[in-house]
């Protein structure tokens, strides 16, 4: 047992902070009447074409006049795989280069054709624009140094005020230094989060939500996997936000984004197939995002709307004591054998907590009577490395294992052989934070996971426990344009994941550090916390964040 040190009121104040109404781009989120659904995407200014499509790769659809070529094998070209300069604001670029005499130029290419040569007169070829940058002798501004303290000593360059920066950010970008004799010296790519935050930070609604507006344009799949889309409709962009309105009949259907975007990891325009970062429902294994209205009565167990009034009493914060458990393990076995007290269809899932006469629930009742107040659930969001469809799991042959000598190495070898294909994982491989894990549901497609997660919370409250959710916002399992578990790095490459001074992804938190210091990353985390708090009744319980010190500020 342990005492929880995070005040519920502190967490609630963090997740319920909302912008002034005058700053909301789409106040439709507050409307109660539901006639149509509206799909909104935040893109932060990259040159992308969003389409609903399958996860199968098809012909590239982008507005390029020439075919995209891969990067050359030149050792000089490898400099562009690094992004050692920072576009920190609309008016400044920071780069750790010497103060010797010379010139700095910004290069742009809409078709990602920049390459570095050894030609002293050119340095970089394949560009659409070449813009001279003057040294800013005043140095980096105070707000830039506060946001990026690790580059406070970098040299500052002025970005001409006449440039159309928003459109330039849609291109492949690089900067190059030339010596006083005009010969090329060095070059690198650019990290963009600073200027993106300044120009495209957004406080309006994101994801699929339901409103009373009636304009219709459909772009959906009827099925959770396979088949062709019912229709493909490009989203419309306004100041970095991409959206399309559609009919209420989209509810229960699926969608994905097809994003054509320059990706610095390949130096190419890539077609990325991605789920919605603001997904609230998924198909099995996260192949597609589900249109789901979490406020629909059909997704609420009986008594759900009044559950907040029936929560177990907590007279003092110091009374909190916590019991941690894993959703699957809670009901899969009992004294090393399959638990016969749980219905076979419920074992290892959310509904096992609703079996009031099972061995596990009887044990929880005894713990509650003994004074424990909270159940801490290991990660229950959508994570990688466990198939949502249980018939894909590989299971150990327990009878064979029991027949082996106690000192044999064969037991471990047998378990190791299937460890990446069984149904067990603690869940610290986050893919999408805002959707319950499908492998714990009786059906990973459709809205079952939402209904059954709510029934689990309700059942635990009835036993006498409040619910603590273990959420993991400091890293993501996938990255890059092709990883099936990559989402955010396909939508805005180089923004959602923290980069080091070379422009490579940091992995100190485990893998793929998330950059919560960037406006829209922090916004995504807080919106996700708000979803669990409001839509799954965790706001009256506690959301427990196993985060490193880089995320503590979010809870203040």
Question: With the CA atoms of 302, 307, 313 and 318 taken in that order, what torsion angle do they form, in degrees rounded to the nearest 10?
Answer: 130
Give me the pLDDT at residue 99, please: 67
Contact 397, 413 (CB under 8 A): no
Q: Over the stretch 198-209, which tens digit does the pLDDT of each residue have? A: 999 988 878 765
Residue-by-residue DSSP string for 388-452: SSGGG-----HHHHHHS-TT-SHHHHHHHHHTTTSS---S--EEEEEEE-GGGSS-SSTTHHHHH
Question: With the CA atoms of 401, 405, 410 and 416 taken in that order, what torsion angle do they form, in degrees rounded to the nearest 10?
Answer: 50
Domain 77-198 class in CATH:
mainly beta
Q: Which residues of 480-512 are buried (b: 16+ CB within 10 A; e: fewer)?
A: bbbbebbbbbbbbbbbbbbbbeebebbeebeeb
List helix spans (H) across 46-181. Answer: 142-147, 165-168
Domain with CATH 2.60.40.10 in the chain: 26-63+201-290
Give me the pLDDT at residue 247, please: 81
CA–CA dist 386, 427 (Å, integer): 9
Give me the pLDDT at residue 232, please: 79
Give me the pLDDT at residue 433, please: 95
Confidence of residue 249 (pLDDT cuts 50, 70, 90): confident
Domain with CATH 2.60.40.1130 in the chain: 77-198
CA–CA dist 304, 245 (Å, integer): 30
Give me the pLDDT at residue 540, please: 37
Contact 4, 374 (CB under 8 A): yes
Give me the pLDDT at residue 427, please: 94
CB-neighbour burial class of residue 535 (10 A; exposed 0-12, middle 13-18, buried 19+): middle
User: What SS3 state is found at 346?
Assistant: coil
Does this model's pTM top 0.85? My answer is no
Q: E strands within 59-117?
A: 85-89, 92-95, 102-109, 115-116
Contact 383, 427 (CB under 8 A): yes
Q: Over the stretch 422-437, which tens digit does the pLDDT of each residue have? A: 988 999 999 999 999 9
Q: Is residue 545 pLDDT above 60, yes or no?
A: no
CB atoms < 10 A from the CB of 462, how many? 17
Confidence of residue 341 (pLDDT cuts 50, 70, 90): confident
Contact 198, 131 (CB under 8 A): no
For domain 26-63+201-290, give its CATH number from 3.30.70.2740, 1.10.240.10, 2.60.40.10, 1.10.3210.10. 2.60.40.10
Give me the pLDDT at residue 322, please: 92
Q: Over the stretch 139-158, which tens digit does the pLDDT of each residue have? A: 999 999 999 999 999 999 99
CA–CA dist 47, 169 (Å, integer): 8
Most distant CA pair in the chain, distance: 84
Give me the pLDDT at residue 207, please: 77
């Amino acid at each position: 047992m342990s005492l929880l040190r995070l005040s519920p009121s502190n967490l609630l104040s963090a997740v319920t902070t909302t912008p002034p109404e005058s700053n909301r781009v789409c106040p439709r989120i507050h409307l109660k009447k539901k006639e149509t659904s509206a799909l909104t995407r935040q893109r932060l200014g990259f040159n992308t074409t969003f389409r609903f499509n399958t996860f199968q790769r098809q012909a590239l659809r982008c507005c390029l006049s020439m075919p995209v070529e891969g990067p050359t094998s030149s050792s000089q070209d490898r400099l562009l795989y690094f992004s050692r300069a920072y576009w920190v604001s609309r008016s400044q670029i920071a780069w750790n280069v010497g103060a010797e005499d010379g010139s700095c130029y910004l290069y742009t290419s809409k078709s990602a054709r920049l390459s570095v040569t050894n030609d002293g007169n050119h340095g970089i070829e394949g560009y659409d624009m070449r813009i001279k940058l003057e040294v800013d002798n005043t140095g980096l501004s105070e707000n830039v140094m506060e946001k990026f303290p690790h580059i406070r000593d970098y040299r500052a360059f002025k970005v001409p005020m006449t440039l159309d920066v928003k459109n330039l950010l849609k291109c492949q970008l690089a900067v190059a230094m030339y010596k006083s004799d005009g010969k090329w010296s060095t070059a690198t790519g650019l990290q963009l989060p600073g200027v993106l935050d300044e120009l495209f930070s957004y406080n309006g609604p994101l994801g699929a939500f339901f409103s009373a507006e009636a304009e219709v344009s459909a772009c959906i799949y009827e099925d959770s996997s396979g088949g062709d889309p019912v229709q493909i409709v490009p989203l419309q962009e306004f100041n970095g936000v991409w959206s399309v309105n559609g009919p209420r009949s989209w509810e229960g259907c699926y969608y994905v984004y097809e994003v054509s975007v320059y990706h610095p990891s390949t130096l190419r325009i890539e077609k990325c197939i991605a789920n919605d970062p603001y997904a609230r429902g998924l198909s099995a294994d996260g192949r597609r995002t589900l249109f789901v209205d979490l406020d629909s009565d059909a997704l609420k167990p009986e008594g759900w709307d009044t559950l907040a009034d029936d929560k177990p009493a907590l007279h003092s914060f110091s009374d909190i004591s916590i019991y941690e458990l894993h959703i699957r393990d809670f009901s899969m076995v009992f004294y090393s054998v399959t638990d016969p007290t749980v219905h076979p269809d419920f074992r290892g899932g959310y509904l096992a907590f609703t079996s009031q006469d099972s061995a596990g629930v009887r044990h929880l009742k005894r713990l509650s009577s003994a004074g424990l107040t909270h159940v801490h659930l290991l990660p229950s969001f959508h994570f990688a490395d466990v198939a949502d469809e249980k018939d894909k799991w590989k299971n150990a042959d327990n009878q064979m294992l029991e027949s082996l000598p106690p000192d044999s190495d064969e037991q471990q070898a047998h378990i190791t052989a299937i460890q990446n294909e069984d149904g067990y994982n603690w869940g610290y491989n986050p893919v999408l934070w805002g959707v319950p894990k499908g492998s714990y549901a009786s059906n990973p497609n459709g809205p079952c996971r939402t209904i059954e997660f709510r029934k689990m919370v309700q059942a635990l409250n009835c036993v006498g426990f409040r619910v603590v959710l273990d959420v993991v916002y400091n890293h993501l399992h996938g990255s890059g344009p092709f990883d099936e578990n990559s989402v955010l790095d396909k939508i805005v490459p180089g923004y959602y994941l923290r980069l080091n001074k070379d422009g490579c992804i940091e992995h100190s938190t485990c893998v793929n550090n998330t950059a919560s210091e960037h406006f829209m990353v922090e916004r995504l985390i807080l919106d996700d916390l708000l979803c669990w708090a409001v839509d799954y009744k965790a706001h009256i319980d506690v959301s427990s964040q196993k985060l490193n010190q880089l995320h503590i500020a979010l809870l203040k």
